[in-house]
Structure 1
Amino acid sequence: MATTTSPIKLESNRGARFSNTAHAKFHQTQYDLISKADLPKINVSPDMLKEWKDAIEVEVEITRQAQASVITKEMLVKDRERDEALNNLFGIIRAQRYSHVEPVRKAAEKLSVELKPYFGIQKEINEDETELIRGMEKDVTRLVPEIAVLGLTDVMQHLHTVNEEYERLIVTRRNDGDALNLPDTRVARQTSERIFEAICQCIQASYLLSTVDADRKMITTLVTGINHISSDFRDTHAQSQAQKAAAKKRKEGDDNPKKPSDPKKPGDDGKKPDDGKKPDDGKKPGEGKKPEDPKKPGGDTPKPGREEDPGEDQV
């Protein structure tokens, strides 16, 4: 019998930050799985599948044209310049928070707080990075004095220049794509996402409305497969990001090689060198000792080779 609650949950990966190639491949893989299902039992029409397939093919064609375009190489160069400028900008801000010069330190601390939402935008999709840089530039208009104190005015100007050059290349490539009647990448991705989301809703509704156990079991198996694909792509994406981060860290280490560790000199760890003497307890000579007994030879002179036992003479 039909149920009002569903134990199945679809993970559509909506809004996932996949690259354009991975995004198209994700939808193609899901399409291949769902298209083999019994469509009437999951309430998905052939027209819906065709619309989805067409959207995926548009994504694939956009990616193919982008990879084949001569402009793409220029875009990669400009994007690398943007990332280097951002690394320089954020790196100086972070480092100067520890400056011994108070005005510099305070300026860096303020910039660190105000620009924190933008830290790491180098990892965003290139088109999104363009808009995020523009947003950061608007915020920086309130922080001109701090930017000047840290000597970052030239860095910001360079970042603005290469960002606008990147956008001009985007427009040029888009115009080339218009000759092929291809939509913008973002529009193509959103179309695929919208159709896939609608199909997922149809599948879930079919489970709720079904009164046949065999059909509900089939739908459960299908949902498990969909979720498995989503999980695999998320894991692969996460591993890819981790590998890029590790490679970047290694590169930064190569750019700033450390000298082999030298033996620490006395005081390197912030502690005073140990000269073998016991710390001075602040007492004057003779304090804390028993008064010298004039009747006993040697007074309070300790015996050779060991510390004096205060009770030794009594034994």
Structure 2
Amino acid sequence: MEKIQINVPRTITFVKANNTKLNNSLHVQYHRKQYDLVMAVDKTKLKLPADLPEKWNTGITYETKIDQHSALSADTAKLKKKDAERKDQLIHIFLTIRAQERSHKEDVRDAALRLAATLHPYEKIYKLPYEMESGRLLSMEDDIKTMTAEITALGLADAFENLKKINTEFEALHVRRRTGDADGKLPQAVEIRPQTDAAFDAVCQYIQAAYLSAASDDDRALIDQLVDRMNQTSRDFKTMQRSLTASHRKDNKKKPGEKKKPRKKPDDGPDIRLPEDGNQPKKPEGGGGGKQPETPKPGGAGEGKKPETPQPGSAGTGGTGGTGGGGPEIHLPEE
């Protein structure tokens, strides 16, 4: 049989990095790495339009700013931590005052009572919104200016000074976050990311076309090397994303030793409770050690005798006159 071989031109393919699954930081870093690889090659060899790399870089620049802005929002975590610090300091101050109200030293006790009366309106201000709490703390600073002696008597001078320091640091963080939000005015990541991806896809298509129309084997080898490096970059970022996903899943797994929640009964089902062993009817007492009374066999003792009809109230009836002579003593279970 004759062998037939069709010489089909070799093509190149790109490995996809699942861009939509990359978080913002990885997404912009991925594009930056790919951009650097492409820009290191002569653009005339790749036959890229002059403005395409610029458009791609515009998307990367915006994403970089968005990522930096989201890093600025890390101040939110610092803000919460600083707010917790001033709450703890406030609680420490008021617990100390409350404890010293019962001091055996009269001067300390009186100082605590005077300070408690003055600061009573501020006792729960840590529950207020940030701005209101900061304002009330500044008001409290004014109120305690005339109570230096009482504060010194209770040993709270350092605590009040530290509270003032914490509140100043909190306000600095709060202002920085607020002004950062106002100055940002950046597009959302969900808006710019698809455009950056589209520019990258266009670059890849031009590179594929350049490979097919390459003027020499050297140009083709150059593009081959570029695509290999770009594909390796995609694989690396896919691995990073998988590692992050696996780490999140591991953190969200139920810890060992956690008990399953009991299944709830259907609301319309009957509430059925089985009796416990201690509430079971007792077995008959007397001869036989708990054996069941035997049923007289036909032809046995007393056969042929007509049983006497017991009178109401007499022994042997099921009435109120007592227990039956030969029957077992039956105890009803208690409620």
TM-score of the pair, normalised by structure 1 = 0.44
Relative CO higher for 1 or 2, CA cutoff 8 Å, sep ≥ 6? 1
Determine which structure has the larger helix proportion and give its number: 1
Which one has the largest radius of gyration?
Answer: 2
Q: TM-score, structure 2 length as denominator?
A: 0.42
